[in-house]
């Protein structure tokens, strides 16, 4: 951590461009003004930490960047709603997420960040608590719905126990949809065609 701070100070003093290579995505996100994500030696996305995190180009970037990693689950997209392949969970889309998929349909991978999962009474879906990680100010709660595991970030003050049944939902405007065949974000399909 001290080295990161020193390098950032040095860069600001020298007003130069640094090329910093790391396998640690957290280090990249904290150090870089612009990041290039490589997969099998190929650059798959270049952008600011904000863009990489909030607008991943594909399933690889979505699953690699972020701690915890983005929740990814396969499903079928129809009428602005994704139903998991088991049929037990329907994930609605709204706002920007709905606009990005438009009238698309077919097999997709849905991505939802842990901070966009809401745990509490009265929420839309039911899950069992599979695991709880205490991180001091927050907890990472792993929820199990059938064979699917979803991570949620909740306040450390929230009382949750393993095997407890809880209700949860997600911010429908922040759901990411990726083509089930190519893994590319559906938000990019119109840009790629242009």
Query: What is this structure's pTM?
Result: 0.87
Q: What is the pLDDT of residue 193?
A: 47
Same domain membership, residue 75 and residue 122: yes
* pLDDT tens for each residue of 132-158: 999 999 999 999 998 899 999 999 999
Q: Which of 5-14, 86-95, 161-170 has the highest mean pLDDT?
A: 161-170
**Range scoring the smallest mean pLDDT among 11-25, 30-44, 63-77, 147-161:** 11-25
- What is the DSSP track for the chain? -HHHHHHHHHHHHHT-------S-HHHHHHH-SSEEEEETTEEEEEE-HHHHHHS-SBHHHHHHSSSSPPEEEEEEEETTEEEETTSS-EEE--HHHHHHHTT--EEEEEEE-GGGEEESTT-SEEEEEEEEEE-SSEEEEEEEETTEEEEEEEETTS---TT-EEEEEE-GGG-EEEETTT-BBGGGHHHHH-
Based on the domain organization, do 27 and 103 belong to the same domain? no
56-96: pLDDT as tens digits = 999 999 999 999 999 999 999 998 889 988 778 888 888 88
* Structural domains of the chain, count: 2
Domain shared by 60 and 85, yes or no: no
* 62 and 74 fall within a common domain: no
Does one domain contain both 45 and 85? no
Both 89 and 154 in one domain: the answer is yes
Let me know whether 24 and 117 are in one domain: no
Q: Are 55 and 117 part of one and the same domain? A: no
> Are 48 and 74 in the same domain?
no
Which one of 42, 66, 90 terminates a domain? 66
Q: Is the pLDDT of residue 35 over 50?
A: yes
> Does residue 31 have a pLDDT over 90?
no
Say yes or no to pLDDT of 192 above 70. no
Tell me: do 93 and 58 sit in the same domain. Answer: no
CATH number at residue 61: 3.40.50.300
CATH number at residue 134: 2.40.50.140
Domain enclosing residue 37, as ranges: 1-66
- The residue from 14, 45, 66 where one domain ends is 66
Percent of the chain with pLDDT over 70: 97
- Same domain, yes or no: 162 and 128: yes
């Amino acid at each position: 951590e001290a080295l990161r701070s020193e390098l950032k100070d040095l860069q600001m003093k020298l007003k130069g461009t640094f090329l910093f290579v790391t396998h640690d995505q957290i280090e990249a996100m904290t150090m870089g003004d612009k990041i290039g994500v490589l997969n099998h030696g190929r650059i798959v996305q270049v952008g600011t930490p904000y863009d990489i995190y909030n607008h991943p180009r594909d399933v690889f970037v979505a699953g690699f960047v972020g701690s915890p990693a983005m929740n990814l689950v396969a499903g079928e997209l129809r009428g602005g709603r994704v139903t998991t392949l088991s049929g037990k969970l329907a994930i609605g889309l709204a706002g920007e997420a709905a606009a990005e998929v438009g009238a698309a349909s077919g097999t997709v991978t849905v991505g939802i960040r842990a901070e966009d999962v809401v745990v509490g009474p009265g929420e839309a879906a039911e899950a069992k608590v599979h695991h709880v990680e205490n991180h001091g100010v927050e907890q990472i709660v792993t929820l199990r719905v059938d064979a699917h595991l979803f991570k949620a970030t909740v306040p450390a003050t929230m009382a949750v126990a393993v095997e407890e049944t809880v209700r949860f939902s997600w911010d429908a405007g922040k759901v990411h949809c990726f083509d089930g065949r190519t893994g590319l974000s559906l938000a990019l399909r119109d840009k790629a065609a242009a």
